[in-house]
A and B are shown apart, each in its own frame.
Chain A
Amino acid sequence: MKNRLVIVFVLIALLAAACSGPAAPAQPAAPAQPAATQSVAAEKFRIAVVMPSAVTDMAFSQSMWSALKAVQTKMGGEAALELKYSEGMFKVPDAAAAIRDYASQGFDIVIAHGSQYGTSVQEIAPDFPDTTFAWGTDVNTFGLPNVYAYTAAAEEGGYVNGVLAALLTKSKKIGVTGPVEVGDAKTYIDGFVQGVAAVDPNINVSKTWTGSFSDVALMTEAAKTHIASGADALTGSSQSVVGSIGAAKDNGSVLWFGTQQDQASLAPNLVVASQQYDWRAMIEEMIKNHLSGKLGGDKFVLQLKNGGLQIIYNPGYSLPADVKKAGDTAIEGIKSGSITVNP
């Protein structure tokens, strides 16, 4: 009996020793103090972003990260702009911890790139009055002076894609593979349907919803079902949409219209156009504002008009000139306001 006790105490002692070792150099974070910029290079601007899915998701999260990287290159690289990210933060309390952590480490701008992060931003922002918080997609800045809200008028690009698809479909049947009918998936698809109807109200647009943002296998099967029912053009949203693109590719002649990110690389001769979320202008404006003392209070909306949304035609797909003209006309119409698209 005594031997066992001795062994147990030795184990505990070892454990205590192991724990105390690495813990010594760690500095405890002090959450309540306002951000004191770390003692790094004085001019280096620091942005951190928290996102719900993978940074390489070919969709929502990737669009923000690639914009940040592009701005970083433009500003002169790592030395001018430090970037850090937390990906896969689907769980809100984890994201809240990340946001608070970045703020307390003195990042100038903390981007909460997920519509579920609103409550977190609302609670954390007042504790860090010198930090800019940017939150999307939503329109609520909570009346706080250091919070920006941003969203994307996805229905605009949806409309343009709809026009293009309506002109290119030969079977007069178009399929839409959606995840869950909420957020910018819904608004994009609603815009798409309006675009198709504007060209030809008799074209059949059928929609499926898989009930998940991540179930790629079901998305693939949904796309195949559309194709089997006669659709020769497809569109859809979310990171699981790679499945639909794969199904189009397997079939070989079904056209794809993308959103959130340029998806041409996935099917180089079938992707006609993608609506690219281009956050660069917004990021640059936020940086500029921050440096001149304005920390928030605005709502940004990515639109065709302000360059936040761009329709990227895939050079690998040979688009007939008249179709492209119709697409450009639609773009101009939305920009000028002569065409209104309802989200």
Chain B
Amino acid sequence: MTIETAVVPPRSPRRFNIDWADILFRISVPILAMLAALLVGAVMLLLLDVNPFVAYAALLEGAFGSVSSITQSLVKATPLLLVGLGICIAFRASVINIGGEGQIILGALMATWFSLQFRTWPGWLLLPATIIMSFMAGAAWGFIPGILKARLRVNEILTTIMMNFIALQLMNLLLRGPLMDPESVSAGTFLAKSERLPEQVWLARLIPQTLLHTGMIFAVVLAVVVFIFLWRTTIGYRIRAVGLNPHAARYAGIKVPFYQALSLTLAGGFAGLAGSVEVIGVHHRLLEGITSGYGFSGIVAALFGGLHPLGTIPASYLFGSLLVGADKMQRAVQVPSALVDTIMGLVVLFVVGSAVLTRQWSARRLAAAAKGQEVK
């Protein structure tokens, strides 16, 4: 008996192994949970003297109502997806990566410094090189907690939280010093932003007059790559084995600490990519606040996607739409933005709490499938 059959439920006996009922159920539960949270939000709106129908109409319109809304959601979804992919990898190895914010910063810093440093290089060389370097920078920021965990057994929750704060100060140090835009200095304004990046490294805009850039396609392609990596390669298999049952993995000869450190490093790399994509695709320079909280909201996006790289694609888009719609709602009915944050928190709580329903559903199907299969 191999590890695979010991810890992984038997495959569903359907054509092409796609179980539609399963997928539908798994999608509808979080969506309904989200609606329940919005219902509570409606009560809060009423208490603030706001008509919830008007408010939520604005939210829907802001999320899906126009080309502008959809592109904004996609722009937001891109870094969510990238961070989320890293979170998926880490979670599969049972490692929690709360260091996304710091890793995004390192990726953004590297993208800025590298592309400005080598601004004479042609685009076909500079752009891929910048992206690769950003991945490495984020990966390095994930590697440090990883190696500390593997070698010295220092807990990664502690190190990743601390490294977030350290990265922030590092960015301050560089932005107000060597990376500050020379124009800002000469104009006497000393603003916390870098010089504009060379044009050949900018990601192409897909739709004119919007912020939508090729990074989105890149992220989706990477999601497929991560899926293949986790389910079709030996390394990916070992990462998942470590996450499902570290003891069994160790008995099978898999070096658990190594793969945990590796998953944390990869997660950092993906967050670093998110940072670079924001810099070269959206802003075309490094600004304070570049992370926009994606280090945390990427975790939520991955959760909504069932911690599966392919699931994270629609999840990031939906979550991004929710955020965009919520901003529109704030503008339309002039409620404090804090109300939007509160409702977001409720959405996460409801969705994560509703997973109990999906689990019971899975357990029942597992029992049914086991009964249905004659010989194993």
Q: Do chains A and B touch in the complex (CB under 8 A)?
A: yes
Binary interface encoding of chain B residues 50-70 relative to chain A, with 1 for a CB under 8 A from any of its CBs, else 0 = 000100111011001111110
Q: Which residues of B contact A91 (CB under 8 A)?
A: 289, 292-293
Interface residues of A in 1-41 (CB under 8 A from B): 1, 4-5, 8-9, 11-12, 15, 18-19, 22-23, 25-32
Q: Which residues of A contact B69 (CB under 8 A)?
A: 28-29
Of B20-28, B227-235, B248-256, B303-311, the one contacting chain A is: B20-28
- Total A-B pairs in contact (CB under 8 Å)? 155
In the docked arrangement, what's the CA distance between A343 and B330, Å?
Answer: 37
Q: Is A314 an interface residue (CB 8 A)?
A: no
In the docked arrangement, what's the CA distance between A182 and B69, Å?
Answer: 33
- B189, A31: Cβ atoms closer than 8 Å: no
- B209, A23: Cβ atoms closer than 8 Å: no
Q: Which residues of A contact B283 (CB under 8 A)?
A: 92, 119
Q: Which residues of B contact A15 (CB under 8 A)?
A: 28, 31-32, 35
Q: Is A275 an interface residue (CB 8 A)?
A: no
- A19, B60: Cβ atoms closer than 8 Å: yes
Interface residues of B in 14-45 (CB under 8 A from A): 21, 24-25, 28, 31-32, 35
- A180, B282: Cβ atoms closer than 8 Å: no
- B21, A4: Cβ atoms closer than 8 Å: yes
In the docked arrangement, what's the CA distance between A84 and B328, Å?
Answer: 13
In the docked arrangement, what's the CA distance between A1 and B75, Å?
Answer: 40
In the docked arrangement, what's the CA distance between A102 and B328, Å?
Answer: 10
Assuming the contacts A31-B66, A32-B209, A91-B293, asked whether A26 and B189 have C-beta atoms less than 8 A apart, the reply is: no
- The smallest beta-carbon distance between B185 and chain A, in angstroms, is 10
- A183, B188: Cβ atoms closer than 8 Å: no
Q: Which residues of A contact B368 (CB under 8 A)?
A: 1
- The smallest beta-carbon distance between B78 and chain A, in angstroms, is 10
- The smallest beta-carbon distance between B7 and chain A, in angstroms, is 26
Q: Is A315 an interface residue (CB 8 A)?
A: no
In the docked arrangement, what's the CA distance between A247 and B324, Å?
Answer: 39
In the docked arrangement, what's the CA distance between A195 and B68, Å?
Answer: 49
- From the candidates B190, B323, B328, name the one contacting A186 in the complex (CB within 8 A): B190
- The smallest beta-carbon distance between B219 and chain A, in angstroms, is 15
- The smallest beta-carbon distance between B99 and chain A, in angstroms, is 18
Q: Which residues of A contact B324 (CB under 8 A)?
A: 94, 97
In the docked arrangement, what's the CA distance between A140 and B331, Å?
Answer: 27
- B72, A1: Cβ atoms closer than 8 Å: no
- B61, A8: Cβ atoms closer than 8 Å: no
Name B208's closest neighbour in chain A (CB-CB).
Answer: A32
Q: Which residues of B contact A97 (CB under 8 A)?
A: 68, 72, 324, 327-328
Q: Which residues of A contact B328 (CB under 8 A)?
A: 97, 101
- The smallest beta-carbon distance between A71 and chain B, in angstroms, is 19
- The smallest beta-carbon distance between B191 and chain A, in angstroms, is 5
- From the candidates A4, A90, A183, name the one contacting B189 in the complex (CB within 8 A): A183
In the docked arrangement, what's the CA distance between A187 and B180, Å?
Answer: 15
Assuming the contacts A8-B24, A211-B168, asked whether A27 and B191 have C-beta atoms less than 8 A apart, the reply is: no
- A138, B28: Cβ atoms closer than 8 Å: no
Binary interface encoding of chain B residues 190-219 relative to chain A, with 1 for a CB under 8 A from any of its CBs, else 0 = 111100000000000000011100000000
- The smallest beta-carbon distance between B31 and chain A, in angstroms, is 6
Name A5's closest neighbour in chain B (CB-CB).
Answer: B21
- B284, A138: Cβ atoms closer than 8 Å: no
Q: Which residues of B contact A89 (CB under 8 A)?
A: 337
- From the candidates A27, A85, A100, A187, name the one contacting B188 in the complex (CB within 8 A): A187
Binary interface encoding of chain B residues 269-288 relative to chain A, with 1 for a CB under 8 A from any of its CBs, else 0 = 00000000000001111011
Assuming the contacts A15-B28, A15-B35, A139-B187, asked whether A116 and B193 have C-beta atoms less than 8 A apart, the reply is: yes
Q: Which residues of A contact B31 (CB under 8 A)?
A: 15
- B28, A22: Cβ atoms closer than 8 Å: no
Q: Is A328 an interface residue (CB 8 A)?
A: no
- B190, A29: Cβ atoms closer than 8 Å: no
Binary interface encoding of chain B residues 168-181 relative to chain A, with 1 for a CB under 8 A from any of its CBs, else 0 = 11001001100010
Name B331's closest neighbour in chain A (CB-CB).
Answer: A86
Interface residues of A in 160-210 (CB under 8 A from B): 180-183, 186-187
In the docked arrangement, what's the CA distance between A61 and B64, Å?
Answer: 30
In the docked arrangement, what's the CA distance between A122 and B58, Å?
Answer: 27
Q: Which residues of A contact B284 (CB under 8 A)?
A: 119
- The smallest beta-carbon distance between B333 and chain A, in angstroms, is 11
Assuming the contacts A15-B28, A22-B60, A119-B283, asked whether A29 and B172 have C-beta atoms less than 8 A apart, the reply is: no
Assuming the contacts A93-B282, A101-B331, A183-B191, asked whether A11 and B32 have C-beta atoms less than 8 A apart, the reply is: yes
Q: Is B240 an interface residue (CB 8 A)?
A: no
In the docked arrangement, what's the CA distance between A127 and B209, Å?
Answer: 8
Name B26's closest neighbour in chain A (CB-CB).
Answer: A8
- B176, A1: Cβ atoms closer than 8 Å: no
Q: Which residues of B contact A116 (CB under 8 A)?
A: 192-193, 287-289
In the docked arrangement, what's the CA distance between A90 and B24, Å?
Answer: 37
- B68, A182: Cβ atoms closer than 8 Å: no
- The smallest beta-carbon distance between B224 and chain A, in angstroms, is 25
In the docked arrangement, what's the CA distance between A302 and B193, Å?
Answer: 22
- The smallest beta-carbon distance between B350 and chain A, in angstroms, is 15
In the docked arrangement, what's the CA distance between A29 and B65, Å?
Answer: 7
- B191, A96: Cβ atoms closer than 8 Å: no
In the docked arrangement, what's the CA distance between A118 and B183, Å?
Answer: 13
Closest A-B pairs by Cβ, 7 of them: A26-B61, A343-B188, A88-B337, A182-B192, A91-B292, A31-B68, A28-B66
Question: Could you list which residues of chain B lie within 8 angstroms of chain A, going by C-beta atoms?
Answer: 21, 24-25, 28, 31-32, 35, 53, 56-58, 60-61, 64-69, 72, 75-76, 168-169, 172, 175-176, 180, 183, 187-193, 209-211, 282-285, 287-289, 292-293, 323-324, 327-328, 330-331, 334, 336-338, 361, 368
9 contacts between A and B (CB under 8 A): A5-B21, A11-B32, A26-B58, A28-B65, A31-B67, A94-B327, A181-B176, A186-B190, A342-B188
Question: Could you list which residues of chain A lie within 8 angstroms of chain B, going by C-beta atoms?
Answer: 1, 4-5, 8-9, 11-12, 15, 18-19, 22-23, 25-32, 84-94, 96-98, 100-102, 104, 115-116, 118-119, 123, 127, 137-140, 151, 180-183, 186-187, 211-212, 342-343
